[in-house]
């Protein structure tokens, strides 16, 4: 599994550094899941940010405009619509094998965390290209997927176009 220090080496020092678990606990109780530790660690370190002006990560303690909980609720509603469900490999939700919305991209992709079939199995990443019925399952954790994205590897999102010199982030306004 990729580590936060590997991500920091490419993305830069985090400036959010959230330590209160209350927003996560509240959101996890509402959804009936426990988010993977690496996802929580990254979002706690960086907060609600835009990576390379493309990938949006949001924190559950964010304000209404940039709230992970609000985004998840809206995305679950959207992806449960009959005409949208066909664009994903499995339903959205918190049950084993289902997909939990986790991030979005300005280029039209939606990033999901696939709930493991077995609690001891790792979470995986699914990226759906919103402008087409295409989706890709990445057999990697969120931190591994993010690290590959930051390195400019093809993980459906193409960061080289947005960050030709090096990855960067900025807080969402």
> Is residue 107 situated within a structural domain?
yes
- 57 and 142 in contact (C-beta within 8 Å)? no
- pLDDT for 98 equals 97
- pLDDT for 160 equals 67
> Is residue 156 situated within a structural domain?
no
pTM over 0.85: yes
Q: 142-150 vs 37-46: helix axis angle to the nearest 10?
A: 50
Closest CA to 33 of 81, 89, 94: 94
> Is residue 55 situated within a structural domain?
yes
C-alpha to C-alpha distances, 79 to 25, 62, 100, 101, 144, nearest whole angstrom: 24, 22, 10, 9, 25
> Is residue 130 situated within a structural domain?
yes
> Is residue 66 situated within a structural domain?
yes
Q: What is the CATH number of the domain that holds 92?
A: 3.40.1580
pLDDT, tens digit, 9 for 90 and up, residues 137-171: 999 999 999 999 999 988 988 766 778 889 999 99
> Is residue 74 situated within a structural domain?
yes
- What range defines the domain where residue 24 resides? 4-8+17-150
> Is residue 81 situated within a structural domain?
yes
Per-state percent for the chain, helix, strand, coil, to nearest 5: 30, 20, 45
Structural domain count of the chain: 1
pLDDT, tens digit, 9 for 90 and up, residues 14-38: 999 999 999 999 999 999 999 999 9
> Is residue 142 situated within a structural domain?
yes
Using CA atoms, how far apart are residues 32 and 115, in angstroms rounded to an integer?
11
């Amino acid at each position: 599994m990729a580590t936060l220090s590997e991500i920091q080496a490419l993305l830069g020092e985090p400036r959010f550094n959230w330590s209160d678990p209350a927003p996560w606990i509240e959101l996890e109780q509402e959804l009936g899941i426990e988010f993977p530790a690496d996802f929580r660690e990254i979002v706690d370190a960086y907060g609600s940010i835009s990576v390379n002006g493309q990938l949006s990560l949001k924190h559950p303690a964010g304000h209404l405009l940039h709230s992970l909980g609000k985004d998840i609720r809206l995305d679950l509603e959207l992806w449960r619509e009959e005409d949208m469900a066909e664009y994903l490999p499995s339903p959205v939700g918190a049950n084993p094998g289902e997909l939990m919305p986790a991030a979005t991209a300005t280029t039209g992709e939606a990033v999901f965390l696939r709930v493991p079939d077995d609690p001891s199995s790792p979470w995986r990443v699914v990226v759906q290209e919103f402008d087409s019925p295409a989706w890709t399952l990445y057999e990697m954790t969120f931190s591994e997927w993010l690290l590959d994205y930051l390195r400019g590897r093809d993980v459906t999102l193409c960061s080289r176009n947005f960050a030709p010199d090096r990855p960067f982030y900025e807080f969402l306004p």
